[in-house]
């Protein structure tokens, strides 16, 4: 297979994945629209004039059922879309002859795959409610932006990126970012439920806490690996370049979030710190790369 063939195959996988994820979202919406309880007729004995008379009444019977056929179909489509976007990443790597995250498009493509894989890995055997649909929305938005606004044809790396640290540093950043995205979805779901019910803990807060505990040390490693790479490339470990600065801001927000979870009086506000950290991460990827010039501008659109 030639480089051009692999690039075209990657683009085909991406286009197909977008269609499959869109179908999965429609299936999740249909599954949510289906009734979640059934009405059961119960025959009860009611005293009437001293005699017992059978009377049929309509009573609600809450039902805890396994996912419907539509829900299972939505999950199957989500898995299929995830496989397709992973194949797109592999094909892009084959076409480029290197790790497929040398520019913003490739980072967005690989990040989309990582978000989907991270969520599916966690949700196996665990209740996640409507979070699956929102994960699909997030992947569709990220993948759609990558295709429509960030697409870059396969090209050679600029010299400064041609390093083994590209694999280590950027792979860690992508992994942490995918977990941050899952954590942000779970945090929003938890805050909405908390506002409605006043519950301190639920399955969403558990999910958010788990992924943030895993993501934070990975992000810490990504920042440290970036500093080592900077010393190799520019002769200094840290220079407060815009991308370095926002990576540190992201780190501070998530460190504050984890600290707040164990601090009396701050637990209920901890989720907002996590969302601020995810906003800083997104700005570092989109805002800094597109609008703020710096030593990392070579990553390009």
Share above pLDDT 70 across residues of the chain, in percent, rounded to a whole number: 87
pLDDT at residue 268 above 90?
no
Q: 161: helix, coil or strand?
A: helix
**Confidence band, pLDDT 50/70/90 cuts, at residue 160:** confident
d(CA 281, CA 27): 30
What mean pLDDT comes out for the span 164-169? 92
Is 13 a residue whose pLDDT tops 70? yes
State the pLDDT confidence band at 54, using cuts at 50, 70 and 90: very low
pLDDT at 1 over 80: no
The alpha helices in the chain, defined as continuous H runs, are 3-33, 69-96, 104-123, 131-149, 165-197, 203-234, 242-261, 270-285, 287-291
pTM, to two decimals: 0.86
The yes-or-no verdict on residue 61 having pLDDT over 90 is no
- Dig out the tokens for 14 from the structure: 């991406």
If we measure between CA atoms, which residue out of 138, 91, 148 comes closest to residue 115? 138
As a whole number, mean pLDDT of residues 218-241 equals 93
Residue 84: the pLDDT is: 98
Q: Which residues have C-beta within 8 Å of that of residue 191, sequence separation ≥ 6?
A: 271, 272
Q: What is the structure's pLDDT at 297?
A: 65
Given a cut of 60, is residue 40 above it in pLDDT? Answer: no
Highest average pLDDT, of 20-34, 76-90, 252-266, comes from: 76-90
Residue ranges per domain, the chain? Answer: 1-33+66-157, 162-296
């Amino acid at each position: 297979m030639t480089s051009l063939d692999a690039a075209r195959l990657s683009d085909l996988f991406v286009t197909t994945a977008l269609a499959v994820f869109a179908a999965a979202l429609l299936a999740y919406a249909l599954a949510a629209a289906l009734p979640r309880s059934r009405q059961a007729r119960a025959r009860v004995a009611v005293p009437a004039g001293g005699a017992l008379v059978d009377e049929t009444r309509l009573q609600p019977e809450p039902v805890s059922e396994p996912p419907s056929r539509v829900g299972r179909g939505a999950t199957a489509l989500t898995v299929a879309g995830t496989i397709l976007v992973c194949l797109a990443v592999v094909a892009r790597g084959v076409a480029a002859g290197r790790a497929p995250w040398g520019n913003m498009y490739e980072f967005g493509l690989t990040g989309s795959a990582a978000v989907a894989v991270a969520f599916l890995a966690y949700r196996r055997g665990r209740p996640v409610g409507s979070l699956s649909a929102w994960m699909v929305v997030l992947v569709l938005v990220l993948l759609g932006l990558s295709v429509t606004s960030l697409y870059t044809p396969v090209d050679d790396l600029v010299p400064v990126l041609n390093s083994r640290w590209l694999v280590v540093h950027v792979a860690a950043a992508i992994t942490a970012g995918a977990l941050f995205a899952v954590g942000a979805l779970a945090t929003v779901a938890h805050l909405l439920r908390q506002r409605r019910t006043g519950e301190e803990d639920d399955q969403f807060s558990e999910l958010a806490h788990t992924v943030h505990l895993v993501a934070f040390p990975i992000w810490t490693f990504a920042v440290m690996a970036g500093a080592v790479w900077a010393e190799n490339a520019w002769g200094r470990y840290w220079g407060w370049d815009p991308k370095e600065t926002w990576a540190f801001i992201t780190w501070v927000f998530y460190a504050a979030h984890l600290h707040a979870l164990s601090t009396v009086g701050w637990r209920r506000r901890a989720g907002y710190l996590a969302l601020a950290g995810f906003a800083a991460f997104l700005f570092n990827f989109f805002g800094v790369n597109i609008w703020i010039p710096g030593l990392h501008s070579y990553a390009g659109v």
